[in-house]
Amino acid sequence: MQKTIAKLADGRELLYFDRDGSPPRADVPDPRPLDPVGSRPELRLDAATGDWVAVAAHRQDRTHRPPADACPLCPSRDGRPTEIPAADYEVAVFENRFPSLAGAAGRCEVVCFTPDHDAGFADLTAERARLVLDAWTERTAALSARPGTAQVYVFENRGAEIGVTLAHPHGQIYALPYVPPRTAKMTAAAAAHRAATGRNLFEDLLAEARGARERLVAAGEHWTAFVPYAARWPYEVHLHPHRRVPDLTALTEAERAEFPRLYLDLLRRFDRLFGLAEPTPYVSAWHQAPVRGGGELALHLELFTVRRAAGKLKYLAGTEAGMEAFMNDVAPETAARRLREAL
């Protein structure tokens, strides 16, 4: 993989990731007359829960579902400049123009997987998916080294049903200045499990899932995908490497080489799940250990959809939105069986 660094017209950083041998792209300037980014999101502490809340009012003005010919994530072509000045790219990463976090309070980056506006991650080749994995890994290392970063969160939201405002296939990476609530809960659960059993929680969860084949979805030599015993979402799959590691930077070459095949297989199963012409909306979230003090938390990916049946979405009801008490309409064993059959 080769990385080239450029600057956008307002001073934001842009990085191109290409397979070795691709032509350099950093010498293409951004011709747009953009003012320097002046947004300053604010972090506020909810004293009632101890949770941090980002207040980013400037995001009300962000680009919202533009037509394809005005997409800011496509390459710049025919005199139409975009966030990516080059006429083509493989994987591009840049600082978000409308960030939820910025400056000393964190950083938000956009990851464009492909220049093809009408594609999705599931349409990538294994080689391109591997390049995305390598870009995620490089950014995890770089953002973890930033002063003040507590955790690096890599994720993709896909589909209008999820709330995506740009249809072009892309994900995001956040350098969070605090440990978010879900990570804090998992870290506490892992510590309690260690105290009670002397073992690692995530190793035990993986071993239990591999033994309970009714919740198994797919497996390789280095990775296993399964539906968790207490899944919160109608169709939710966790993908774990067999060897416990804290984050993407700790994966071996063999683990990296196998990941694209299994991940693309899962995404394609999700798209076939409901027999619909349109792709399945989903959230794909990498859970990595906090930069400091997260040794018990194991790297894994959680993939879930808000669609519970053809033509039906899973909305957060009052118990879930108000009390964070989830209630699932689909038995995890049924979800796993349907995903196994979705070839």
Q: What angle do CA 315, 319, 320 make, to 5 degrees?
A: 50
Q: To which residue do tokens 């589909």 refer?
A: 159
**What pLDDT, in 10s, does the model give residues 153-170?**
999 999 999 999 999 999
Instruction: Report the chain's mean pLDDT, rounded to a whole number.
Output: 95
CATH code reported for the domain at 2-178: 3.30.428.10
What are the domain boundaries of the chain? 2-178, 182-340
The rounded percent of the chain whose pLDDT value lies above 90 is: 90
Q: Count CB neighbours of 158 within 10 A.
A: 23
State both tokens at 84. 């990516």
- Residue 38: pLDDT band (50, 70, 90) is confident
- Write down the pLDDT at residue 336: 98
Domains 2-178 and 182-340 share a fold: yes
**What pLDDT, in 10s, does the model give residues 261-283?**
999 999 999 999 999 999 999 99
- Of 118, 110, 102, nearest in space to 176 by CA: 102
**What pLDDT, in 10s, does the model give residues 283-300?**
999 999 999 987 899 999
CA distance 93 to 167: 16
State both tokens at 49. 């829960």
- Residue 36: pLDDT band (50, 70, 90) is confident
Average pLDDT of the segment spanning 220-238: 98
User: Which residues participate in catalysis according to the annotation?
Assistant: 170
- Fold classification of 182-340 is HIT family, subunit A (3.30.428)
List, in order, residues 6 or more apart from 339 with CB less than 8 Å away.
Answer: 217, 227, 235, 237, 266, 269, 270, 273
- Residue 39: pLDDT band (50, 70, 90) is confident
Predicted confidence (pLDDT) at residue 342 exceeds the cutoff of 90: yes
340 within 8 A of 273, measured Cβ to Cβ: no
Higher pLDDT, 248 or 35: 248
**What pLDDT, in 10s, does the model give residues 207-216?**
999 998 999 9
Q: Count CB neighbours of 24 within 10 A.
A: 12
- Write down the pLDDT at residue 266: 98
- Write down the pLDDT at residue 21: 75
- Write down the pLDDT at residue 212: 84
- Residue 55: pLDDT band (50, 70, 90) is very high
